[in-house]
Amino acid sequence: MTTPETSQVMSAPDMERALTRIAHEIVEAHRGVDGLLLLGIPRRGVPLARRLGERLARIDGAFDPVRGVGSLDITMYRDDLRTGSARTPEPTRVPEAGVDDATVVLVDDVLYSGRTVRAALDALSALGRPRAVRLAVLVDRGHRELPIRADHVGKNLPTSRDERVSVRLADVDGVAAEDEAVLIERGPRP
């Protein structure tokens, strides 16, 4: 069995710059931070949402990175539950103000088929009725199966279906891990 080849497509400084740019784009598009709520999609979307929240607070002191950031578990809304792929549900944590009449920015690490985002939209609608929903992703790799696009993208990375993008975050993957995004080439199947 051969080991898949990997190549780094975003380093830790690249990710930091991309998150800072996305935070500025969010403030500009929303014309401030009033009524703004970030919801990270587990697993890596949650720490990315926290990082974005910290940047938003630096840009506009009116944003509270504790009250304005939460997480949205989508496990029970996924369309692949019948295939038997087991996933452990993670907690949904919505700030006490709720999602009603808020502008919600869903945050995830990689946008691929759009099915995760569709599940997130379903999960979000079960919580209430936001004024608007936006999507921020660190990497958009294309290959959409649903008519979904990101409003804020850290890096557009055209890939083949035989490749995979893996975002590694020190706060999720362990202290020895470094923040990076890598492209993994699966290679020919035996």
The pLDDT of residue 86: 66
Q: Pick the closest to residue 96 from 144, 55, 64 (CA basis).
A: 64
The pLDDT of residue 173: 87
Which domains are seen in the chain, by residue range? 12-159 (3.40.50.2020)
Say what the pTM is: 0.93
Q: Pick the closest to residue 48 from 58, 38, 57 (CA basis).
A: 38
Task: Read off the tokens for 10.
Answer: 């975003």
Query: Does pLDDT of 88 surpass 50?
Result: yes
The pLDDT of residue 62: 97
The pLDDT of residue 187: 61
Proportion of the chain above pLDDT 90, given as a percent: 80
Reported as a single tens digit per residue, the pLDDT across 43-80 is 999 999 999 999 999 999 999 999 999 999 999 998 87
Q: Pick the closest to residue 59 from 68, 47, 71, 72 (CA basis).
A: 68
- Cβ neighbors of 48 (< 8 A, separation 6 or more) are 19, 40, 107, 108, 109, 138, 169
Reported as a single tens digit per residue, the pLDDT across 103-130 is 999 999 999 999 999 999 999 999 999 9
- Spatial contact of 33 and 69, defined as CB atoms under 8 Å apart: no
Query: Does pLDDT of 89 surpass 90?
Result: no
The pLDDT of residue 190: 45
Instruction: State how far Cα 13 lies from the chain centre.
Output: 18
The pLDDT of residue 85: 65
